[in-house]
């Protein structure tokens, strides 16, 4: 078989579809295992933000600003929670000249009792899944990290944010790993029936 003949075979639609199903499945599995899809979608940064919010050490670790070294983490989190702020509230804040500048956790961490006092704060306390995640709106951030005209809006709880990020991955797995593969398989079957019909 010549190279030209080989190309004619592998470029036939039914061959391309036949190969596409396992290849796409393999690429998706590799991307998921290596974390490529999480990085491309921003989910990896959002998970980093969630870990920081869950840190009971408080400021500065659990304070995620829109500037400085935090913008990537801040933007990834904001993209996933901003739609939880009502349109009416978001519109009022925008009209007031306030914009999201900080994401943090509301309330004090829960303290574990009967533990050595010399242990670090992160080992003696924790945030529960019910602690609220807050987006702080303001006009600007000063050099000390303070927010002018600050206004806090609860967007969800830590538990709800965790569930949202887990659901995001499950949705990716469904759309790419299940739905796309099913559509390609159906397209291949239809194409084969169509080709048999033309042969007869």
pLDDT (tens place) for every residue of the chain, 200 residues total? 676 665 666 566 666 666 776 777 777 778 888 888 889 889 999 999 999 999 888 888 899 999 888 999 999 999 999 989 888 998 999 899 999 999 999 998 998 888 888 888 888 889 999 999 999 999 988 888 889 888 999 999 999 999 999 999 888 777 776 766 777 777 777 766 676 666 55
Q: Which two tokens stand for residue 55?
A: 């840190």
Distance of CA 78 to the CA centre of its chain: 10
Q: In what order do the strands lie in the sheet with 64-65?
A: 64-65, 99-105, 132-138, 151-157
Hey, how many other C-beta atoms are within 10 angstroms of the C-beta on 19?
11
pLDDT at 98 (0 to 100):
93
What token pair was written down for 174? 């469904």
> Which pLDDT value is given to residue 105?
95
The 3-state DSSP class for residue 145 equals: coil
Give SS3 for 64: strand
User: What pLDDT does 170 receive?
Assistant: 86
């Amino acid at each position: 078989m010549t190279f030209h003949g080989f190309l004619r075979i592998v470029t036939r639609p039914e061959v391309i579809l036949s190969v596409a199903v396992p290849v796409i499945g393999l690429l998706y599995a590799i991307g998921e295992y290596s974390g490529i899809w999480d990085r491309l979608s921003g989910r990896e940064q959002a998970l980093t933000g969630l870990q920081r919010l869950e840190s009971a050490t408080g400021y500065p670790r659990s304070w995620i600003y829109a500037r400085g070294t935090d913008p990537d983490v801040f933007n990834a989190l904001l993209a996933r929670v901003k739609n939880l702020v009502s349109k009416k509230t978001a519109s009022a804040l925008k009209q007031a000249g306030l914009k999201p500048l900080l994401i943090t956790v509301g309330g004090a961490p829960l303290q574990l009792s009967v533990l050595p006092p010399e242990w670090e704060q992160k080992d003696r306390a924790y945030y529960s899944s019910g602690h609220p995640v807050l987006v702080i709106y303001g006009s600007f951030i000063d050099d000390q990290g303070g927010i002018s005209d600050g206004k806090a809006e609860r967007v969800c709880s830590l538990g709800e944010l965790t569930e949202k990020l887990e659901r995001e991955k499950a949705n990716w797995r469904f759309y790419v790993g299940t739905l796309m593969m099913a559509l390609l398989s159906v397209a291949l079957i239809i194409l084969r029936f169509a080709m048999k019909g033309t042969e007869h």
